[in-house]
């Protein structure tokens, strides 16, 4: 495919649809990779999607802007190079879509630099504030920060939230049912949450084993959760666990 060169100072992807970026090439006809000079405007007139695959990188020589009806889509494969390396400023808006490569295994402390910004940062992705949960795999959740790197980079950080059995990024009453299911019938739990490691998330007492001994510690977590949601006392939760487990076991026997 012939390479189409765009002169500085501005390169704009204005077409409706997806601009798929993967690898480290320079401005192919289909908009398939890197701009190493000038600015990049995603959805400059209308909406568009800037998609960066696992192992891909986009170098923006000047400024980056993403409008309110566009999407930055990234596929995480390893916490190495940034997906977007912006030498200038970045104006953020629109949606951030995050997919995980099938081969990716998260570890505590993994940090994925989505946008490395040299100058100023303004705006946020729609629906994502500082510290918000984005997605999960195994025992770990990914949370967003706009203050990564040297203080203004967009990063996703992997953290373990014990007891988050439904992988929604929060410890709440919605985790009680999934935890009971994981204890009573792991096959059903694994089918419902195929990318979640129940042994890591459920080991509330730190014994190295996820078992009935974790129930008391799990229920005690709610006492210090600080959630605005009404949370029963730990003793009440423990009784609820016992009741739910009894129901689950009876259903399993009937099946």
Q: Which domain holds residue 231?
A: 173-254
Task: For the full predicted model, state whether its pTM sits above 0.75.
Answer: no
Give domain status of residue 211, yes or no: yes
- Asked if residue 21 belongs to a domain, the reply is yes
Q: Are residues 46 and 119 in the same domain?
A: yes
Are 184 and 220 within one domain?
yes
Alpha carbon distance 54, 238 (integer Å): 43
Where a domain ends, among 125, 160, 195? 160
Give the model's pLDDT for residue 226.
37
Do residues 195 and 166 lie in contact, with contact meaning Cβ atoms separated by under 8 Å?
no
Do 181 and 246 belong together in one domain? yes
Per the model's pLDDT, the better-predicted residue between 194 and 15 turns out to be 194
Domain boundary among 100, 133, 160: 160
Q: Is 24 exposed, middle or buried (CB count within 10 Å of its CB: 0-12, 13-18, 19+)?
A: middle
Domain-ending residue, one of 160, 183, 212: 160
Mean pLDDT of 46-57: 71
- The per-residue pLDDT of the chain, averaged, comes to 75
């Amino acid at each position: 495919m012939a390479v189409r060169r765009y002169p500085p100072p501005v390169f704009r992807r204005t077409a409706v649809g997806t601009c798929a970026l993967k690898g480290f090439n320079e401005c192919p006809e289909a908009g398939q990779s890197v701009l190493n000079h000038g600015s990049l405007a995603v959805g400059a007139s209308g909406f568009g999607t800037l998609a960066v695959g696992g192992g891909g990188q986009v170098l923006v020589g000047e400024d980056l802007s993403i409008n309110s009806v566009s999407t930055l889509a990234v596929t995480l494969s390893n916490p190495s190079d940034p997906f977007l390396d912006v030498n200038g400023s970045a104006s953020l808006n629109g949606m951030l879509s995050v997919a995980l490569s099938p081969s990716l295994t998260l570890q505590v402390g993994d940090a994925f630099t989505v946008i490395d910004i040299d100058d100023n940062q303004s705006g946020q992705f729609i629906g994502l504030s500082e510290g918000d949960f984005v997605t999960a795999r195994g025992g770990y959740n990914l949370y967003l920060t706009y203050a990564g790197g040297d203080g203004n980079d967009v990063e996703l950080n992997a953290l373990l939230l014990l007891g988050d059995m439904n992988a929604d990024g929060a410890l709440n009453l919605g985790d009680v049912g999934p935890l009971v299911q994981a204890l009573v019938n792991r096959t059903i739990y694994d089918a419902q949450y195929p990318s979640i490691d129940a042994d890591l998330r459920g080991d509330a007492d730190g014994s190295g084993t996820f078992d009935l001994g974790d129930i008391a510690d799990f229920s005690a977590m709610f006492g210090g959760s600080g959630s605005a949601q009404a949370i029963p006392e730990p003793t009440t939760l423990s009784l609820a666990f016992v009741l739910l487990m009894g129901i689950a076991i009876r259903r399993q026997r009937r099946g």
